[in-house]
Amino acid sequence: MAKQAAPALETSLDNLESLVERMESGDLTLEESLKAFEEGVRLSRECQQALQQAEQKVRILLEQNTDAEPAPFAGEDNGQ
């Protein structure tokens, strides 16, 4: 499930970003803008749901190990 959720979240975020760029360009008609906005709301809800599921999973994992505490993620982006 986690392996499927991450790509779905990344895809939804990428689609949402592209949609926002198209809307900000000002080249869409009113009807196209409304459809894009509707799609953006749907994508935003999907992303929020995926993040809530991930947060719930983290909470469950932390409850299983009462000594564990959340720590900042040391990913590749911060040079570590």
Position 23 pLDDT exceeds 70:
yes
Position 66 pLDDT exceeds 90:
no
Q: For residue 44, what are the CA distances in angstroms to 1, 14, 20, 29, 75?
A: 20, 11, 11, 22, 25
Per-residue pLDDT tens over the stretch 24-52: 999 999 999 999 999 999 999 999 998 99
Q: Which CATH number fits domain 2-65: 1.10.1760.20, 3.20.20.370, 3.30.70.240, 1.10.287.1040?
A: 1.10.287.1040
Quick one: tokens of 4?
A: 């499927």
